[in-house]
């Protein structure tokens, strides 16, 4: 589906067939170029997440820096680094991941470590470093759930294991938003900001509809759009960037990269399966030869040995002359 309010070329086959999805790398890169064009949007998304878990919201967004992340396994990911100004100072790291990573939390810790130590300088006293250590919030938007139990919003933090269970530090929060679980909800609660955000994103992704179309088709999302400037900025910014010819070409290339990546994974899987089958076959053959040698030592007729082992007559006979 294509939003007819956007200036698409009706004669373009690309425009007719393609609706860039909001969680794709090219679209996110274009939306979150800087704080001027997306500061309200990223703050709204982050605060909707923090409100859902009862955590302290952030205030003014100082900078937004998009940064594509490609792992060693060639799996494509995306992270938006967002620096946030507040009373105590916050740094927010947002990552969108379309594939399942069982090491998601470990990856997040590596990213968070850099931000936590961002104020550490050689020769500075430890007390000064810890006093200047920012509150770091990581928000992971995950297509696949990494935890079998619990709801779609999983919060990870440092806590004491002995009761009373309480935070060991308020400098670190990790919020995993698992979209596969969210999609399984029987009914979204669109009185909650986070569910408005995720409903709009998932519907746009799944239906290949523009965000503007998704919002117009739901009265509650339309109401949220009218009352939340950040959500409105995201929807409007999306509409602007997906109308750009260069973005649509970049999105098409990105789609091709995804298809090539999937084909490569399938080929590697088939190659591995063939190698495994070959190893298993060699193992079974070795067992058959061992059994045949034992039966030959018992002077059993060759026909019986062929039947018992599945070897050919030539293979059994070769064992008789093999020292």
The H or E element containing residue 211 is: helix 211-216
Rounded distance between C-alpha atoms, residue 50 and residue 303, angstroms: 76
Higher-pLDDT residue of 136 and 228 is 228
Mean predicted confidence (pLDDT) in 148-160: 94
Q: What are 78-101's pLDDT values in tens digits? A: 566 677 766 567 888 888 887 777
| pLDDT > 90 fraction of the chain, expressed in percent and rounded | 38
Mean predicted confidence (pLDDT) in 292-297: 87
Q: In 3D, which of 243, 277, 183 has the Cα closest to residue 8?
A: 243
Query: CB of 152 within 8 A of CB of 178?
Result: yes
Rounded distance between C-alpha atoms, residue 2 and residue 19, angstroms: 6
SS3 46: helix
Res. 287: pLDDT tops 70: yes
Q: What are 239-278's pLDDT values in tens digits? A: 999 999 999 988 988 888 888 878 887 888 888 888 888 8
Mean pLDDT of the chain: 84
pLDDT of residue 88: 62
Rounded distance between C-alpha atoms, residue 36 and residue 242, angstroms: 18
Higher-pLDDT residue of 121 and 301 is 301
pLDDT of residue 10: 39
Range from 68-72, 104-108, 230-234 carrying the lowest mean pLDDT: 68-72
The H or E element containing residue 70 is: strand 60-70
pLDDT band at 323 (very low <50, low <70, confident <90, very high): low
Rounded distance between C-alpha atoms, residue 144 and residue 183, angstroms: 11
| pTM metric for this prediction | 0.74
Query: CB of 286 within 8 A of CB of 278?
Result: no
Query: CB of 153 within 8 A of CB of 175?
Result: yes
Range from 115-124, 135-144, 164-173, 202-211 carrying the lowest mean pLDDT: 115-124
- What does the block give as tokens for 240? 């602007």
Mean predicted confidence (pLDDT) in 135-158: 93
Bond from prior residue into 164 cis (ω within 30 degrees of 0) = yes
Higher-pLDDT residue of 200 and 131 is 200
- What does the block give as tokens for 264? 């490569």
Range from 124-138, 158-172, 214-228, 301-315 carrying the lowest mean pLDDT: 124-138
Query: CB of 146 within 8 A of CB of 101?
Result: yes
Res. 236: pLDDT tops 90: yes
Q: What are 19-39's pLDDT values in tens digits? A: 899 998 889 989 998 999 999
Mean predicted confidence (pLDDT) in 60-87: 65
């Amino acid at each position: 589906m294509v939003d007819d309010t956007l200036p698409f070329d009706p004669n373009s086959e690309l425009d007719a067939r393609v609706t860039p999805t909001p969680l794709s790398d090219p679209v996110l890169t274009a939306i979150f170029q800087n704080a001027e064009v997306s500061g309200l949007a990223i703050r709204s998304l982050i605060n909707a997440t923090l409100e859902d878990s009862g955590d302290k919201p952030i205030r003014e967004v100082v900078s937004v820096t998009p940064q594509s992340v490609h792992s060693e396994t060639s799996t494509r990911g995306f992270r938006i680094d967002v620096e946030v100004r507040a009373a105590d100072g916050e740094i927010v790291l947002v990552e969108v991941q379309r594939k399942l990573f069982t090491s998601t939390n470990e990856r997040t810790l590596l990213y968070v470590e850099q931000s936590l130590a961002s104020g550490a300088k050689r020769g500075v006293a430890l007390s000064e470093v810890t006093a200047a250590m920012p509150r770091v919030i990581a928000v992971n938007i995950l297509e696949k759930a990494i935890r079998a139990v619990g709801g779609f919003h999983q919060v990870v933090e440092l806590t004491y294991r002995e009761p009373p269970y309480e935070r060991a530090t308020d400098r670190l929060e990790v919020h995993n938003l698992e979209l596969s679980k969210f999609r399984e909800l029987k009914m979204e609660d669109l009185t909650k900001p986070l569910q408005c955000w995720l409903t709009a994103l998932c519907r746009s992704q799944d239906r290949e509809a523009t965000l503007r179309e998704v919002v117009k088709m739901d009265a509650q999302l339309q109401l949220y759009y009218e009352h939340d400037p950040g959500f409105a900025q995201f929807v409007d910014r999306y509409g602007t960037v997906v109308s750009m010819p260069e973005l649509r070409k970049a999105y098409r290339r990105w789609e091709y990269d995804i298809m090539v990546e999937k084909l490569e994974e399938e080929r590697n899987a088939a190659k591995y399966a063939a190698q495994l089958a070959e190893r298993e076959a060699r193992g079974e053959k070795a067992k058959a030869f061992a059994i045949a040698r034992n039966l030959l030592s018992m002077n059993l007729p060759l026909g019986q040995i062929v039947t018992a082992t599945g070897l050919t007559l030539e293979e059994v006979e070769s064992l008789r002359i093999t020292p």
